[in-house]
Amino acid sequence: MNNKFSKLAIALGVAYSALAASQLGYAAESAADANASQQASNSNAEKSIEVISIFGHRNQLATATGSAFVLNEEALNQYEFDDIHRVLQSVPGVYIREEDGYGLRPNIGLRGATTERSSKVAIMEDGVLIAPAPYAAPAAYYFPNVSRMEQVEVFKGPAAIKYGPNTIGGAINMVSRQITDSADTPLREIDIAGGQDGYLKGHGVYSQRFENSEYGDYGFLIEGIHLESDGFKELPNGEDTGFVKRELMFKADFSPANSKYYQLWQFKAGYSDEESDETYLGLTDADFAINPHQRYIASQDDKMDWEHYQFQVSHYIDITDSLSVFTQAYRRDFDRDWDRFNSFNTNRSMQTILTSPDTGLNALFMQVLTGERDSLTTEEQLLFTLNDRKFYSQGIESKLFWDTRWLDADVAIDAGLRIHQDQVERNHRQNNLLMQDGRLVNSGVAQSTITDNEDTATAVASYVNADIDFGQLNLTAGVRIEYIDGEAKDFLAGTTESDTDTVVLPGLGAFYQVNDELGFLFGVNKGFVPNSPGQDTNIDPEESWNYELGMRFSNELFNAELIGFYNDYDNLKGTCTFSSGCRDDLDVEFNGGEVEVVGLESSIQAEFAISQSLTMPINIAYTYTDAEFQNDFQSTFSQWGNVSKGDKLPYLPENQISVEVAIAHENWRAALLFKHADESPEAAGTGTELESLMTDEIQQWDFSAWYQVTDALRTYVKVDNLTDEEVIVSRRPFGARPGKPQQASVGVKYTF
């Protein structure tokens, strides 16, 4: 099937490209704007970032028909965050559920879409979906290091139809570092930092361009990054609870001389890996209150180990002044093995034991869990699972951009076609262990295979979108069509199930510029999240109609945006995973029925002059959310129980706000970032193990400062969680979990 798919993908992709097709990861960028950029600077770097960015270099934020937010390189460098959770905390409409404190396995949601493993958000790097298997198994167990990104873009609204398959909440695109744009400006930079909890960072970049009038321009980039920490949690045996994470990236591009058309070829290859002593086992609330950083000895052998490879070849061409094409082929492979304690050899769940640790048998299980006594019965054997999964994601994508005039309006039409296939192979084995003298030893029970399956999804997706600019009025209208063919093989049961789905997703948006300072926007689009392969026939895809209405104001003093949104779900889905707190029915999906999400997003950016040499930038982002079920139902999903109309969705705080205040000078800058998030429910309804429990309210302060010693040397210092706040950020997967404690670090950047 893979060989057939590869041949079909190549044939159709080449044919479509020959007709005219595309641009990388997206871009509401027109061919005319791309040509103007070329004529102004003839810069390969300009061209490269235009085709992989949602917004490119144009000032599209001011007239976007949906909520749009961009964190540029300056903003990313200010705090030197390695954690995408902390990067996104200043973006309105984004929800975060922390798990490990370092953002190793992010949980990100947009506008009510569940945060669980970021599985309902279109997350991309350079416009390519980064989930290990975006259709078959979209959970984001892999996530690129944000330290090597130049820009992070968040878009919500009707234009999200360009980024399926998940169009409920919106899209997040990360633009990786570009090859230097001139032979006169090579890039050679080293960034070294160290801090508390054994934190170390080593980051190096080398990029060079060569200009040849006979053959053309060509350049390359090599980038490597190493991150590690001993971890902030504490095992009784003194072992590390941290991680080591590495990435290596290579890019090369070529723009031929003497070509009839401007063209840019690019090759991108990357390798990354991680070893982390991470666990799904948390604490009882009582033990969290005593020491939130402790870990039970039963988790002493827990370890995540993964490797990720990526390869991309892309081609951009200006066919005419009004027509441009971008075609891209990609392949990603991800192999992860997470060995960890999961439960005891009993039907009693870990959530039940940890939420009622002093009751009957639960107290005995807790004594084994903490190593206070040895395993004495068969039920007290600890089930240690080796969760081995292999993923691939491959495809070819092509997009066409055409500019024209119609009824005295500038019209930009872009269309895209993607042929994609992804797969996950799950091979989960189980060992029965005993607690003996504070160590885990083999019980003598033979290892068993508990999961052996393979899910494959093949999808053909296309979209057409028109942007019509009448001057004061900007309209966008488009439609996305997805055809998805799924196949699920269960090798233990000896069964194979197949299913297909076709969905049509329209979107419409408008922005009206009242005057130079004030504008209003409106948008509506249909949201969709497909079913994973092999689901029961009574499971409906997740679908919603999403509406937004807002305004933008901008003058010399500040920029402001205020947007109200309403997501009307026909059906909300939940997926049973270990990370959501499930033990049985893994990867099974559940209907949640009708849900309404009503909210308000606002942001303000301002910069005030303190003196001739000092300014005070201020950035404020606020989100209000009210998300409720609209029907009564009973569910065995771990986050839902006996749900009644009006019950709140889990992990969606009603109020979130971030405030950043900085003092900036030409040679230095210091900034303080405050984040507040209300408490939020751990589960909906009654009859669940976490019924009526709430996460803690978050009041978090981060500080950073840098000083430009010379043109080549910069020093910086940062303190995450300045006040060392200790709160329960979640009780999933199993037990209370803390956020990252105070971590101070210092670093230097040297540019050769």
Domain CATH for 654: 2.40.170.20
Bridge partners (DSSP) listed for residue 505:
480
Q: How far apart are CA 162 and CA 54, in angstroms?
A: 10
Q: Which of 1-10, 62-71, 414-423 has the lowest mean pLDDT?
A: 1-10
| Residue with the larger pLDDT of the pair 50 and 447 | 447
Q: How far is CA 538 from CA 76, 138, 330, 588, in A?
A: 45, 21, 34, 12
The overall average pLDDT reported for the chain is: 90
Q: Which of 143-157, 577-591, 636-650 has the lowest mean pLDDT?
A: 577-591
Looking at residue 289, what DSSP letter applies? Answer: H
Residue 576 in domain = yes
- Cβ distance 368 to 381 under 8 Å? no
Based on the number of CB atoms within 10 Å of its own CB, is 515 exposed (0-12), middle (13-18) or buried (19 or more)? exposed
Q: Which of 137-141, 201-205, 286-290, 516-520 has the lowest mean pLDDT?
A: 137-141
Domain holding 265, by residue range, is 2-497+512-751
Q: Which of 14-18, 212-216, 412-416 has the lowest mean pLDDT?
A: 14-18
Phi, psi of 355 (to 5 degrees): -85, -20
pLDDT of residue 50: 60
Residue among 673, 681, 656 at smallest CA distance from 720: 673
Residue 503 in domain = no
Q: How far apart are CA 150 and CA 49, in angstroms?
A: 10
What is the three-class DSSP state of 166?
coil
Q: How far apart are CA 596 and CA 649, in angstroms?
A: 10
Residue 16 CB partners (closer than 8 Å, separation 6+): 327, 398, 417
Q: How far apart are CA 590 and CA 643, in angstroms?
A: 13
Bridge partners (DSSP) listed for residue 418:
397, 461
pLDDT of residue 303: 97
Q: How far is CA 270 from CA 50, 332, 405, 499, in A?
A: 21, 9, 41, 33
- Mean pLDDT score, 11-40: 34
pLDDT of residue 584: 73
Residue 288 in domain = yes
Whether 58 shows a pLDDT value over 70: the answer reads: no
Query: What's the pLDDT band for 160 if we cut at 50, 70, 90?
Result: confident
Query: What's the pLDDT band for 592 if we cut at 50, 70, 90?
Result: very high
Q: How far apart are CA 420 and CA 558, in angstroms?
A: 43
Residue 507 in domain = no
Query: What's the pLDDT band for 393 if we cut at 50, 70, 90?
Result: very high
Looking at residue 163, what DSSP letter applies? Answer: G
Task: Give the global pTM.
Answer: 0.90
- Mean pLDDT score, 725-741: 95
Q: Which of 159-173, 240-254, 602-616 has the lowest mean pLDDT?
A: 159-173
- Mean pLDDT score, 469-475: 93
pLDDT of residue 27: 31
Q: How many residues does the chain have?
A: 752
Residue 505 in domain = no
pLDDT of residue 24: 29
Whether 104 shows a pLDDT value over 60: the answer reads: yes
pLDDT of residue 28: 31
Residue 686 in domain = yes
Q: Per the structure block, which two tokens stand in for 643? A: 């749900």
DSSP string, 669-725: EEEEEEEEE---BSSBSBSSTTTT-BPPPEEEEEEEEEEE-SSSEEEEEEEESTT--
Whether 11 shows a pLDDT value over 60: the answer reads: no
- Mean pLDDT score, 643-661: 96
| Residue with the larger pLDDT of the pair 514 and 63 | 514
Q: How far apart are CA 496 and CA 108, in angstroms?
A: 32
- Cβ distance 544 to 526 under 8 Å? yes
Residue 663 in domain = yes
pLDDT of residue 158: 74
> Based on the structure, what is the number of domains in the chain?
1
Whether 437 shows a pLDDT value over 90: the answer reads: yes
Residue 504 in domain = no
Residue among 501, 600, 498, 581 at smallest CA distance from 543: 501
Whether 152 shows a pLDDT value over 80: the answer reads: yes
Q: How far apart are CA 327 and CA 22, in angstroms?
A: 5
- Mean pLDDT score, 565-570: 96
Bridge partners (DSSP) listed for residue 432:
383
